[in-house]
Amino acid sequence: MKIIWRVSQYLFRYPLLFALVQVMAIGMTLLLIGVPMVTKSIIAGVEQSGTTDNLLRGVLGIVGLYLGSEVLNGLRIVFNNTLEQRVLFDMRRDLHQKLLILPISFYDQRKSGEISSRVIEDVMAVERALLDGTEIGGRALVMIIGVTIVLFTINPLLAFFVFIPVPSLIIIGIYYSKGSRKVWKRVRESAGDLNSLLVEDIQGNRLIQTFALQRREGQRFDEKAELLRFRTLRAMFRWAAYSPGTSFVTNLGTVAVIGIGGWMILQGDSGFGFPDMVAFLMYVAMLYTPLGQLHGINHLVAAGKASGERVFEILDAPVEVESPANPKPFPTDPLHVQFNNVAFQYPERPEVLKEFNLDLLRGKVTALVGHTGAGKSTVANLAMRTYDVTRGSVTINGTDIREFDLEDVHGNIGHVAQDPFLFEGTVRENMLLAKQDASDDEIVAALEGASAWDFVNKLPEVLETNIGEKGIRLSQGEKQRLTIARVLLKNPTFVILDEATASVDTITERLIQEALENLTADRTVLVIAHRLSTVRKADQIVCMQDGEIIEKGTHDELLSQDGHYAKLWSYQNDLIPENVEL
């Protein structure tokens, strides 16, 4: 019930629309309830008078009832669909907004396709259960109450037999609900897994083709699709037993009415005649139809509750990194970043940093070098506050970074990653992410500073060229220079370069290195590198191993010490291997 109540809050945002849907549904139902009574009066009039004097009037009355009912039904559909789309929009917007502020650790533990499945498919299932359940359920309840009153008014004894199957239907419904939620949750999980595989195959299509992995991926798809098919059929088989079973039980009630009602007519009971029998049977059909709809809603709610749990798992996920209630103003002068006795560990993993102390000097370049797993990227993540420290503190100009608004922190940091990310759209649109009101001259100046204007100027439509999803129409080096230009346009006071030249050739690296020199001028800079040639000019080189600093100094100072850094430098191609005997 908790899930249903929470989902219902979305309906209550639009009380007028919700009320209009219910009023239209109730109105059309009440009009339909009048049809058997008019039918009864027509038959009784013909039977008593032997003429058709009132037949036309009665038929026109029935037409009027049906017409009025369908007019209200049309209005109900309009209001219901308007409400439906607003609820869908609100739920998806809330999910998307939550996804934008969730910590990196949330995404580390989940597949992107599975998350998108929750936003699209699970929200749709929840909405269907919510709106169809309330609208159809409300109409069914009105029909059941109205018809029940009429049935007991016509003949209480016969009405009693109509309701004999109801306790059985309730017991069957409760039994079905208990198992169906778990079954449908497994269906939604399998759908999410299949969606994740599809996203992965689309993103990795080049690798699949170059490694001839089509057969392997086809087998993986078949396995996940088969599991989804099996779980869906299992859920539907439960419905296949439940729905016919409830229909059979309700049909027994109809049989009882025909048998007992027919016997009462044959006995010549003056209180119950053929017109009453016709009206009674019509009302019985009207009663059992909404009962069947309630069973269908039971099916929808079972699926909706399973999807609701998946939706609220995201909405209830804790935001581990938040802005303070009363943030301090972010400094406008050059930044001095300090790590003070910092310890950090990722969930369910040993500590990555231990009593870590480091000064990123104001307006200077600090480079971190070391083997994979030494903790370099973790230092960068803590400096950007994508994670919070486990112990100790990270300060900016003497103030704990946790005391600043997150938007201020991120707005003053420029980050260039090893794997550049560009949005689908034009070059201009991607540049304007850094500064929305930037002029063409500012954009071109940033591109020139990043050694990117030469290739951008040769594109078919220059700044208006669509670069495709993730910049697929550009080379790796072009994408990297475009991301550097974007950071230049942003003009941050603190820049983090995370292996920005690791995946390009030496010629492209030289162009990027020139761009980086422009980017790092007069800024506080943190550089993470495997290629030592890219950090020779750094004001401070910090050599890390197992989350600790083992050496620190300039390039020449570290070489003269003939220690860890010097041995790394001695390796050919400036490239630090994964495992080195030191």
Are β-strands 391-396 and 337-345 bridged in parallel, bridged antiparallel, or unpaired? antiparallel
Residue closest to 261 by CA, chosen among 155, 395, 187, 185: 155
Are the beta carbons of 405 and 331 closer than 8 angstroms?
no
> 73, 255, 96: which is closest to 161 by C-alpha?
255
For the ranges 209-223, 389-403, 422-436, 535-549, which has the lowest average pLDDT?
A: 209-223
Q: Is the pLDDT of residue 48 over 80?
A: no
Question: Which residues make Cβ contacts (< 8 Å) with residue 125, sequence separation at least 6?
Answer: 188, 303, 304, 306, 307
CB 278 within 8 A of CB 39: yes
Q: Phi and psi (nearest 5°) for 425?
A: 150, -165
- Sign of the dihedral through C-alpha 389, 395, 399, 405: negative
- More confident site: 289 or 330: 330
Residue 86 has pLDDT above 80, yes or no: yes
Q: Helix H segments across 109-165?
A: 112-117, 123-154, 156-162
Report the 10 Å Cβ neighbour count for 243: 17
Average pLDDT over residues 285-293: 76
Residue appearing with tokens 């890390």: 544
Instruction: Return the HEC string of 490-549.
Output: HCCCEEEEECCCCCCCHHHHHHHHHHHHHHHCCCEEEEECCEHHHHCCCCEEEEEECCEE
Mean pLDDT of 31-57: 78
Global pTM reads: 0.65
Measured at the CA of 402, the angle between CA 397 and CA 408, to 5 degrees, comes to 75
For β-strands 399-400 and 540-545, DSSP reports them as unpaired
Q: What is the DSSP letter of 404?
A: B
Sequence-distant (6+) residues with CB within 8 A of 359 are 336, 337, 338, 339, 366
pLDDT > 70? residue 209: no
Mean pLDDT of 556-580: 68
Higher-scoring residue by pLDDT: 38, 109 = 38
Q: pLDDT for 448-502, tens place per residue? A: 877 788 888 888 888 888 887 777 788 877 888 888 888 888 888 888 888 766 5
Check residue 508 and give its pLDDT: 60
What tokens does 1 get? 């019930």
E strand or H helix at 4, and its extent? helix 2-11
Residue 314 pLDDT greater than 70, yes or no: yes
- Interacting residues of 459 by C-beta distance below 8 A, sequence separation 6+: 427, 465
Which pLDDT band, with edges at 50, 70 and 90, does 375 fall under?
Answer: confident
3-state SS of 420-472 is CCCCCCEHHHHHCCCCCCCCHHHHHHHHHHCCCHHHHCCCCCHHHCECCHHHC
Note the residue count of the chain. 582
pLDDT at 71: 93
Say if residue 367's pLDDT is above 80: yes
Q: Give the pLDDT confidence score for residue 432 in this predicted structure.
A: 85
Neighbour-count burial of 169, counting CB atoms closer than 10 A to its CB (0-12 exposed, 13-18 middle, 19+ buried) = buried
302/128 Cα distance (integer angstroms): 11
∠ CA 288-289-292, nearest 5°, is 85
The per-residue pLDDT for range 244-283, each reduced to its tens digit, is 777 787 778 778 888 888 888 877 765 777 787 888 888 8
| Range picked from 64-73, 295-304, 468-477 for highest mean pLDDT | 64-73
